[in-house]
Amino acid sequence: MKALILFVAWCMLLVLSWPVALLALVLAPIVWLVALPFRLVGLCVRAVFAFLGALLFLPARLLLYDRRRQERGNLVG
């Protein structure tokens, strides 16, 4: 659906101002290539923060798991 809306908008731009529409058509892949490293950096930063969050909450998750096992009576000791 998003691609259809983008195509219709580009067709309207083509009717109103064809040089701008052709310029947008040519520059779109270049802008995508320039933005690609920033998207990869964002992905890596999000992964690092997810890892740090998991590492930070690991003791709480382990203690909660232990408490659940004790409540069920499965833990010997």
Task: Return the pLDDT at 63.
Answer: 82
pLDDT band of 61, cuts 50, 70, 90? confident
DSSP result, 12-73:
HHHHH-HHHHHHHHHHHHHHHHHHHHHHHHHHHHHHHHHHHHHHHHHHHHHHHHHHHHHHHT
Placement of tokens 């232990």 in the chain: 66
Write down the pLDDT at residue 70.
Answer: 66
Query: If pLDDT is split at 50, 70 and 90, which confidence band does 69 have?
Result: low
- The mean pLDDT of the chain is 89
Give this prediction's pTM. Answer: 0.56
Query: What are the tens digits of pLDDT across the range 32-53?
Result: 999 999 999 999 999 999 999 9
Sort 14 into a burial class: Cβ within 10 Å, 0-12 / 13-18 / 19+: middle
